Amino acid sequence: MTTTTVRDVSVFGDAMAYFDEAASLLDLEPAMRAILTHPSRQIIFSIPFQRDNGSLEVYTGYRVQYNFARGPAKGGIRYHPGVTLDEVTALAFWMTWKCAVVDLPFGGGKGGVTCDPGELSQGELERITRRYAAELVEVVGPDKDVPAPDVGTTPQIMAWFMDTYSMHMRTTVPGVVTGKPVEIGGSLGRVEATGRGVSLVAFEELQHLGIAPAAARVVVQGFGNVGSVAAKMFASRGCKMIGISDISGGYVNRNGIDIAGATAYAQEHHSLEGYRGGEHVSNEKLLETECDVLVPAALEKVLTAENAERVHARLIVEGANGPTTPEADHIFQRKGTVVVPDIIGNAGGVIVSYFEWVQDRQGYFWKESEVNERLEELLLTNFRKVREVAHQRQIPYRTAAYMVAIDRVTRSIKTRGVYA
């Protein structure tokens, strides 16, 4: 086990810059800053497993539990060949603030295995997952650390993880992970939660800006789970969807795109490629389409210093993690573009993961309508808090979101005291 400070890693290195800006505005004392920029626990271990052909291979597994001040660590497990300790640490750092800004009783965590799930059979994935879970039995659990799916992992992988942990505990423990299939303790509404949350904060901010949904032109980059659900929610409230995209490119129709038809097409063809409901443009060009709401819900770092001046949206709601670079953020501030940051814009998923954990612990499951109602209440209550701080301090929503999150974690640490 090692302890290091957070290093700048991919998009999540940007989180440190945002943290520093917010911490300075909070006049965070050096000792507290030191505590908050060091992970509580980092775990590295080997995962030997047998391939289907009988050969043995060894992968590396990681779990970082960044902070426990507000509750158990919470964060996904990713299976990807590029997973490193630094990346997982930075992701756990970011999850700390994401949980805190929406006032969940969780700290931040993250895990991963250096493997390519696309090259592994179901049996191989199961063996890797069970060994990974077994290595973590002593340090995870409903009161310690609650993993979830992330890049390269699925509800089925969470089911294997839960079953392995339960076998070691000699009792069924559904609350050890979230993002499970509904049949074994998953929550209704979890799959749609992130996209639903994106649309909820967008509608809340549109109302604040005095724009009626029926008058709003919306562009969504990315038509996976988050983007397609968000697009459906926008369309259901009467917004005009003028742009969508996936890996095949963007599709723009200023008269409006039939989202139900586009969804059916994408499901049938496993892509939007060949879709004729709009003019085919590049993903880069799609981002520059003039609109009222832009939702980047695909990749990180798509809004940069190079294209920010050409982005003509009144409101940007980040459905992806880290789609806006700090340089682009400053340009949007100067232009007066409102940006709802990822740590609250796409927090619907972790909120409903919390609901799943609560339902597992009480052994009583809610109707989907109850899940959606509670999601809206919790997300918008905290978004309004962020907006209040932003307006009081005359700062961007992103800085305000980090200030709210850091203040909550700091208060928890100070109230509990430092055991030294």
- Supply the residues annotated as catalytic: 110
d(CA 110, CA 87): 9
- Whose tokens are 């400053």? That residue is 330
Residue 373 amino acid letter: E
Locate 366 and state its tokens: 């809610």
> The dihedral of CA 184, 131, 46, 144: what is its sign?
positive
| β-strand partners of 251 | 244, 280
Number of Cβ within 10 Å of residue 291's Cβ equals 27
